[in-house]
Chains A and B, each alone.
Chain A
C-alpha cells in the first residue's frame, strides 16, 4: 500500500494520532492476560502481511514526523548520537544493511544504486538523492551511522562484541524509554542493565547475553518490550526528565484515555558482517488507551495485566502513582470474557456481546 505520511508533533501541542490502519497493526505486547519478564526472543524473518513484523525496518505513517522530531532533539543535544572511533566500520555495516533492506522492501520509496564503491541513495519521502563513496566518510554529510539513522525510525544501539560481552560503543538514541546513551556509552551488557529489579536473580541477563552473542549473520532476532508514557512523547530521556516527568502529574480521570499511552518497543538484533558488531534497533510505537480500547480483546487484557502487575515492576516502569486512575478507566472495558492466545486483535472471533 502507499503510506499517507502524517504531519504531527511529539511535543508541545502533541498532535500525534494513529489512523485505524496503525491501530490494527499496533504491536500489542501481551500474548496472555499477565506479564513477567522473559527473554521471549524469536527469529526476525518477516510476519503477517501488513504487520510491523513484515519488513526488516518497518516504515509507517509517522515516518516523516519522527525524523523531524529526531532532528530537533539532535539540534538541542548532539550527544544523543555518538560513535567511539573503532565503531566506524560498524556504522558502514549499518548503513549498508538499512539501505539494502529498505530498497528491497520498499522499492517505491527507496532506491540504492551500486557500482563498486560508488553508491547512490534515493529516499523519496524525505526528498534525498545522494551519491557517495562507500567506506569514505568524507563523501557523506555525517558519519555513516548518523547519516542513515537520521532517515530511519527507531533508536539504534550499535554494540561491539569482544571478550564474550557486548559493549555500548555507538548509537543514535533520541526516542528512548528513560535511558541515556551519553551515560551508557562504553558500558558492557551487565553494566548498562544493572538497575532492573528482580530480573537479575532470575539469571535472565546471562541467558539473554548468551543468546545475543550467538546471533548469526542472516538470522536476525526480535522481541517486544513495553512501558507507559503520558502524552505521545518520543524523547523520554533522563536528560529531559525535568520537562516530561511533570506531565505524569497532569493525568486526570477525564483525560486518561487520550493522554495515557502504551509505549511498545520492537527490539531487533542483527549481526553486522564486516565488523562482527551487533546492531540493536529499538523501534518505538505509541498508542493511546482510547486507541487500544477500539480492540475489545486488548481492552480486556490490558486491564488484567496492569491490575496484576507486581508493584516493583509498575514502579520500575514509572506508573505506580497513576495505576489506580488507569485501572478505573480500563476496568470499564473488561467484561470478564475470555481472551484468545497471542497478541493479534482477533476482531473476527470476538465473543458474542450479551
Chain B
C-alpha cells in the first residue's frame, strides 16, 4: 500500500480561532495512545467528500509529548478545491476520521545553537509543536510571526503570554513588517532558520539568506501546496492500461487512485518526492507546481509530480 500507517480517530473538539482558522482535535477510536512525534511533523487527513476521497496534509500543532490528543489548525480557503471547506463545513464533533501516522519533512536540526523561526499566517502551526518540543529541552529559539492583523492572528495571545521575550508579532495592516536583514545580521554562529508561510515569504527568506551567504543547510522551509483546480484533462496510464480523466476539482494523483491504481505518495503537497512519475509521451504543456523537481527536470517533459501538478493538451502517457 502507498502512504503510511493509518490511525482511526474521532473528532473530539472543534475550536474556531477566528474568521478563517479553526482547530480540530482528535482522539483515537481504539482508546490507545497516539504515537509521539517530532515538532514540524504533519498528518494526512482522509476526507470522504461526496464520494471523492481527499487526502490533505496538515501540520500537527499539539504538544508532541501529548499522546492523548492530536490537533491541527485549518485555514478556510474559499478559492481552493474544497478540502478546507469540507473540514470547516462538514466535520462535526464525534465524526469518525482517518489520519496517517506522523511524517516529518520539516524537522528541527538539533545541532543548532539557536532556532530562528519565521512564520507567516497559518504557517504558524508547525512552530506551535516545535516550540513545545524545544521548551522541554530548554532549547534556544525565537519566533517572528507575521499575520494580517490582530483579529486573524491565530495563537498570538497564547504565544505572547507564555513567551513574552521570544515571540515577536508583526501585523501587515499596521504596516509592521519583519526587518529581515537586520534580524539576520544579529544572529550568533550556529543559528538555523526555519520559515513556513506563503510562497512569497519563503522565497524572500531563502533569497535574502543566500544573498547574505548563509549556508543552505541552515535554512529550512516548508510550504504545503494544496492542489489547485484546473481544466479537466485526459491521461493514459500505460502499465495499468487505463485512460482516465482528471476532473476540474481533483488532482492527477486523486484521479489515479480513484481508478484503483496504487500509486506511491507521502506528503501530497509537492515536497517529498514520493509520487514522482515518469512521462512516457505527451503533446501539450505541463503545469508543474511542486518543489521537488529541478527546473531542468520540469523542462525535460520526462517527469511529473501528480499530487499537485497538472497538464493541458492533447495526450499524456504516464508510466503507472
Contact = CB atoms under 8 A, between A and B. Distances in A.
Interface of A: 84-87, 89, 135, 160-163, 210, 214, 216-219, 273-276
Contacts of A162: 107, 109, 217
Interface residues of B, number: 26
Nearest to B215: A163
Given A162-B109, A162-B217, A274-B64, A216 B38 contact: no
Main secondary structure of the interface of B (DSSP, over half): loop
Nearest to B264: A214
Interface in B92-119: 101-104, 107, 109-111
B110 A274 contact: no
Contacts of A274: 36-38, 64-65, 133
B266 interface: yes
A275 B38 contact: yes
B36 to A, nearest CB: 4
B4 A217 contact: yes
B15 interface: no
B29 to A, nearest CB: 16
Contact of B103 (A85, A89, A135, A216): A216
Contacts of B5: 216-219
Contacts of B183: none
Contacts of B41: 276
B272 to A, nearest CB: 8
B37 A273 contact: yes
B101 A276 contact: no
A89 B137 contact: yes
B274 interface: yes
A145 to B, nearest CB: 14
B35 interface: yes
B231 interface: no
Given A273-B35, A273-B37, A274-B64, A217 B101 contact: yes
B217 A218 contact: no
A216 B274 contact: no
Contacts, number: 55
Given A214-B274, A275-B38, A219 B4 contact: yes
B174 to A, nearest CB: 37
Main secondary structure of the interface of A (DSSP, over half): loop
Contact of A275 (B101, B110, B136, B273): B110
Contact of A218 (B4, B65, B272, B274): B4
A143 to B, nearest CB: 15
A214 B272 CA distance: 9
Contacts of A161: 107
Given A89-B137, A273-B36, A218 B107 contact: no
Most buried by A among B102, B133, B217, B272: B102
Contacts of B104: 276
B220 to A, nearest CB: 9
Most buried by B among A84, A85, A162: A162
Contacts of B64: 274
A218 B35 contact: yes
Interface in B254-290: 266, 272-274
A115 to B, nearest CB: 14
Interface string B129-144: 0000100110000000
Given A161-B107, A218-B4, 17 more contacts: A85-B111, A86-B110, A89-B110, A135-B136, A160-B110, A214-B274, A216-B5, A216-B101, A216-B103, A216-B266, A217-B4, A217-B102, A273-B36, A273-B37, A274-B38, A274-B64, A275-B110
A276 to B, nearest CB: 4
B37 A217 contact: yes
Given A219-B5, A274-B37, A276-B41, A214 B266 contact: yes
Contact of A163 (B133, B136, B217, B272): B217
Contacts of A89: 110, 137
A84 B111 CA distance: 9
